[in-house]
């Protein structure tokens, strides 16, 4: 890229592909110098989208066996899922920050909760990103049809250019 960027978002989900995309961004992209800008600092933002607890639990914990009420809210169950998700998010961000530290690049982190496709595009808008960088998982055509591709969705809906980093074979 020839021109320097002000805000680059790198979406990470803990996969090797997303971490490789982060490495690629740190090695190949240059941010605009914050001393030349009057509107604040330039930044790499490592973005992680956490699933809502209801999705992580498979929508609900299920009916209580042996005739218990099926619509019972189980706060301890939800709290356990939230705590588990926070641990996963921390591990993902710690891994990403270690990569950034090795490359000697300071970054900001942002965690949002929801559907990754929508939340990544919302973050691009809110943060006025100049570029979104993502990894691409090698889903087969059947899996992609049912799950959809986050990178494909973002490339069609994000309000900035999207760089999808694929592993070279």
pLDDT at 3: 65
pLDDT at 38: 43
Structure tokens at 130: 């100049």
Phi (first) and psi of residue 99, to 5 degrees? -60, -45
Per-block mean pLDDT, blocks of 10 residues, the chain (169 long): 80 94 94 58 93 62 52 72 91 97 94 95 97 83 66 93 83
Nearest in space to 11 (alpha carbons), one of 122, 95, 118, 133: 133
State the DSSP H helix or E strand holding residue 87, giving kind and residue range, or none if neither. Answer: helix 75-102
Q: Which domains does the chain have, with CATH numbers?
A: 7-33+40-49+75-165 (3.40.50.620)
pLDDT at 29: 92
pLDDT at 66: 53
Tell me 139's DSSP state: -
What is the per-residue pLDDT across 42-69, written as a single tens digit (0 to 9) for each? 899 999 999 877 655 555 555 555 555 5
Please give the model's pTM, rounded to 2 decimal places: 0.80
Are 13 and 50 in contact by the 8 Å Cβ rule? The answer is no
E strands, the chain, in order: 7-11, 43-50, 107-113, 131-135, 162-165
Tell me how far apart the alpha carbons of residues 39 and 13 are, in angstroms, rounded to a whole number.
30
């Amino acid at each position: 890229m020839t021109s320097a960027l002000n805000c680059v978002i790198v979406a990470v989900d803990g996969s090797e592909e997303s971490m490789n995309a982060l490495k690629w961004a740190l090695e190949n992209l240059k941010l605009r110098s914050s001393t030349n800008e009057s509107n604040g600092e330039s930044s790499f933002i490592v973005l992680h989208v956490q699933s809502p607890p209801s999705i992580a639990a498979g929508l609900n914990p299920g009916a209580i066996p042996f005739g218990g009420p099926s619509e019972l809210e189980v706060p301890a169950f939800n709290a356990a899922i939230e705590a588990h998700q926070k641990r996963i998010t921390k591990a993902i961000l710690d891994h990403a920050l270690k990569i950034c530290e090795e490359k000697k690049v300071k970054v900001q982190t942002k965690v949002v909760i929801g559907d990754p496709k929508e939340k990544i595009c919302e973050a691009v808008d809110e943060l006025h990103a100049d570029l979104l960088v993502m990894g691409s998982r090698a889903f087969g055509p059947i899996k992609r049809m049912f799950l959809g591709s986050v990178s494909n969705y973002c490339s069609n809906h994000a309000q900035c250019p999207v760089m999808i980093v694929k592993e070279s074979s």
